[in-house]
Amino acid sequence: MLIYQCAKCQQQYAKVVSVCAKCLCLKLKETEVADEGKLVTWTTIRRAPAGFLVNAPYDVVVVDLICGLRVTGRLDQESIPPRMYARVKRIATEEGSPIFSVMT
């Protein structure tokens, strides 16, 4: 999974930022990290907003990656049902959002 890391203080970001919020450094580098983590929480969207109607219902998940960064994404519709602290793996990225699947 691709993240962004400050060249000065090593602060990590899931999305690209123009300046580090921790030390105000302008140099951020792309860094590849493991695609695995644990599921912290999730919610099921049953009445989706316009543009997501085709996907409803779907699960929005919060995942703590192995590197320590917390990210938000979606759970793959073919995945087994979510459970607290389940191990998950990123299997794709759609429109900049990671898609996770629960590991067995």
Same domain, 38 and 9: no
Q: Are residues 27 and 43 in the same domain?
A: no
The pLDDT of residue 101: 98
In angstroms, the Cα distances linking 49 to 31, 35, 56, 101 are 32, 28, 9, 23
Clarify whether residues 48 and 83 are in a common domain. Answer: yes
Strands 70-75 and 97-102: parallel
On whether both 11 and 38 belong to a single domain, the answer is no
* pLDDT on residue 77: 92
Do 24 and 66 lie in one domain? The reply is no
Residues 38 and 75 in one domain: yes
Residue 55 pLDDT class (50, 70, 90 cuts): confident
Same domain, 21 and 72: no
CATH of the domain at 56: 2.40.50.840
In tens, the pLDDT along 6-49 reads 999 999 999 989 999 999 999 999 999 999 999 999 999 998 88
Q: How many domains does the chain have?
A: 2
Residues 39, 22 share a domain: no
Amino acid at 18: S
For Cα atoms 86, 49, 72, give the angle at the middle one, nearest 5 degrees.
Answer: 30
- pLDDT-derived band at 66 (thresholds 50, 70, 90) equals very high
> Is the model's pLDDT at 51 over the cut of 90?
no
Q: Which domain holds residue 51?
A: 34-102
